[in-house]
Structure 1
Amino acid sequence: MTTAANRPIRVGLQLQPQHADYATMRRTAAKAEELGVDILFNWDHFFPLYGEPDGLHFECWTMLGAWAESTSRVEIGALVTCNSYRNPELLADMARTVDHISDGRLILGIGSGWFERDYDEYGYEFGTAGGRLDDLAGALPRIESRLGKLNPPPTRKIPVLIGGGGEKKTLKLVARHADIWHGFGDPTVVERKVGILDQHCATVGRDPAEIERSCGVKGDPAELAPKLRDLGVSLYTVDAGGPDYDLGPLRDWIAWRDEQNA
């Protein structure tokens, strides 16, 4: 039985689709796979989040389809898909299709959305944070239902990653629907979130060890990682933004992973 303590350590890279041309992104994705990264993520926004706000930027899911063809080993996914931008049944079909293109390497990362400019400029209703979370709660069962009806079906039970640390709603959704929870923050914050997630799992009758714990990380793995590992975190994701993607931190985390998994 897999538990939080005995899950192998994995390392992800969020390759931010901003400030670089696509050829550079494709080369960086290939290099990350060559270095041994476990998961390659992008994000689901329409404009850069950092740097020049009107800089170069590319769309999430068309890129995942391309990565499904241009990579061969790594899992791929969005960190995270914005639930607001697509009908849930359509998103399920997109996920199933990329799952097939990639021979079963897709992770369906999803969250409720937060970047107001995306909504305003693309014509989506921004609403409230609570309303967007309620929409996500309604969408997840619809996605699950549609995945069960598609022909052909997915090649595997597509892992669902839910991102966010909201204690009353988001973590409750994680307990009910997610295979992976992705959070942020220092070990003190993560410890609190993990404790609350465990409580939600108890409420719904789910073993929390079924949910892989993931965290965005920066800095020296020797300093940070053992503290997160003690909290059951097994997936560590670094980020890199354009135009010049620095994979030095990724190398450090992969080296630490290999030492720990040896």
Structure 2
Amino acid sequence: MTNPTEIIPGVIFYSYHSAMKKDKVGFFEHSTLVLQVSGQFTLETAGQKISMNSGEMLLIRKNQLGEITKMPLEGGDYQTIVICLNEEMLRNFALEEQIEVRRKYTGPLNVLIPENDFLHGFFQSIIPYVRNSEEKITKDLGMLKVREGVKLLLHAMPELKDFLFDFSEPHKMDLEKFMVRNFHFNVPVEKFARLTGRSLAGFKRDFQKAFGMSPRAWLQEKRLTEAMHLIEKKKKKPSSIYLELGFESLSHFSHSFKKKYGKAPTEWLYQIN
């Protein structure tokens, strides 16, 4: 079985690991429902850190940057079922069910779902799709399963209506504070602009005012400064930090570091040890 397995293309996914894995997920474009089948799942965003174990469920809010750690427990493995709640499906659901949301959602961005027999039964009904992933399941059937999940979520927690059906654009937020907290995520500048509630042109203009340089130049400078701190003060190995700082590869990180500081990060680490 491939990992992760796409059970219903773009909609339902199954993930299996036998060893710990840390994913720099980056941008959550859509709201996402996760059932932890086994092992431990930890989501860390700029504002929250949430962990869950076997049998627990989490609803993740759209338009976020985050990192996921997948940890098998001793003597076991790691398994999750993930359902993507894309906005087009939710808009159609709201129209058909005559759901209106008149206010912007302001609650927590990630919500642990209390124990619920109906939702657990729903996830159990997805297991056959996981076990027979080689079978071709039509997208229409997959969307029926997702709609069932949304109905059960609303039955269990009616207050999630504002969470699920708020289709407003991200509000214009404090750009400087947001970037300082999220610079280490390797996402395009366009995504940073969207997350701060700005057009790309508006983002670049406000960024120049706030930091006195372009977004790309500032991100490079900020990541390299943090790298130097981790190497010099915490004796971190370059191979263990480049992904955490938003660099795409170790070679790209090493080249950029040497260009700024005159020596490759491994040379710098060897020098101070």
TM range (shorter): under 0.3
The structure having more radius of gyration, on CA atoms, is: 2
**Larger strand share, 1 or 2:** 2
Tell which has more relative contact order, 1 or 2 (C-alpha 8 A, sep 6+). 1
Q: TM-score w.r.t. structure 1 length?
A: 0.27
